[in-house]
Structure 1
């Protein structure tokens, strides 16, 4: 049975290098890992506790929660917007964190990776996402990281799935999260 890794991409832009990184993860997953690329984050309304009531949870938010509940692990792939993660990704974490203490990410093995135009590969955004996931109750693997700098230049003519170094790094991230998920 494969380890199911629910993958959320924080960039909604067509052709995003982070979306491409997600595709590279799915196409180069090690044996025994199934990367499930989630779509529809843009359809989830901003978290509002008034709307988070049994029987009234917006369908898009409930679909995200259901996907996380069915997953063995979670991978967030984030660009860096103004030094932090995009609002759509933070919103997803907010929905997944509730009800507090028993949300869909409670104890779920999780990693945060990404690529960004800058020289550090979006590490600030990744750190913020890890912080939010930790507070939400996820089991964030702090030592499993991947930040790819200079994305616009590096992937201008080469898709990440065709970059041997990226393929190797993605496989290592997925192997790391698989090991933790299987141990749970």
Structure 2
């Protein structure tokens, strides 16, 4: 059996992001036979432009993201919550990856297994952002993991100063989410 390749995408651009730290924890706690690669090019994705959304006109950063999503067996998306929803940079990247206007490339997100998690310093974590992101993936017809939900509230209390996840309950939920994603991606 070959290794299951998961592409992790953090919706945060912040250097000390708890959501990016969650993806690093996913690398550490991934089950045997699963690798988690973290995408770090979100900042390079330009605003979505339908006039450029063809195989020959897409910006290089967009082409690379589409290729990486297509090659991955599953996606692990860590989203913060901004204004009760997902960050614009994350939605923008999904918009670029969700299309095939020419009918020649395929849809990278179609039936792609996706797991969602998120961290926030508030008492509600990223509950609303995760709901908004799940709604986006209804349109793309992605195969979203329903449970467990990994909603890391008061995130600053669950990581040490080095960005390492230290909360045992969150680690257990993360491991269960990775197991569920691996099962769908296999």
Within 5 A, what are the aligned runs for 1:29-68? 29-68=30-69
Q: What is the SS of the residue equivalent to 2:145?
A: strand
Q: Deviations over 1:109-149 (max 9, x none)?
A: 11110111111211100111111122112111223321010
Q: What is the SS of the residue equivalent to 1:142?
A: coil
Q: CA contact under 8 A between 2:159 and 2:165: conserved in structure 1?
A: no
- Assess, with a 3 A threshold, how the Cα gap between structure 1 residues 154 and 54 changes in structure 2: closer, same or farther: closer
- Displacement after TM superposition at 1:157 (Å): 4.2
Task: Name the structure 1 match of 2:146.
Answer: 142
Task: Name the structure 2 match of 1:103.
Answer: 107
Task: Name the structure 2 match of 1:75.
Answer: 76
Q: CA contact under 8 A between 2:158 and 2:166: conserved in structure 1?
A: no
- Displacement after TM superposition at 1:103 (Å): 1.7
2:120 is aligned, of 111, 116, 120, to 116
Q: Deviations over 1:65-84 (max 9, x none)?
A: 00011000011100001111
Q: CA contact under 8 A between 2:100 and 2:107: conserved in structure 1?
A: yes
Q: Deviations over 1:89-112 (max 9, x none)?
A: 101110111126942111001111
Q: What is the SS of the residue equivalent to 2:148?
A: strand
Paired residue total: 182
- Kindly report the root-mean-square deviation, in angstroms, between the aligned alpha carbons of the 2 structures: 1.6
- Displacement after TM superposition at 1:46 (Å): 1.1
Q: What is the SS of the residue equivalent to 1:4?
A: strand
Q: CA contact under 8 A between 1:2 and 1:33: conserved in structure 2?
A: yes
Q: CA contact under 8 A between 1:109 and 1:140: conserved in structure 2?
A: yes
Gaps of 5+ in 2: none
TM-score, normalised with respect to structure 1: 0.92
TM-score, normalised with respect to structure 2: 0.92
Task: Name the structure 1 match of 2:130.
Answer: 126
Task: Name the structure 1 match of 2:183.
Answer: 179
Task: Name the structure 2 match of 1:6.
Answer: 7
Paired with 2:164 and 2:117, the residues of 1 have a C-alpha distance of 13
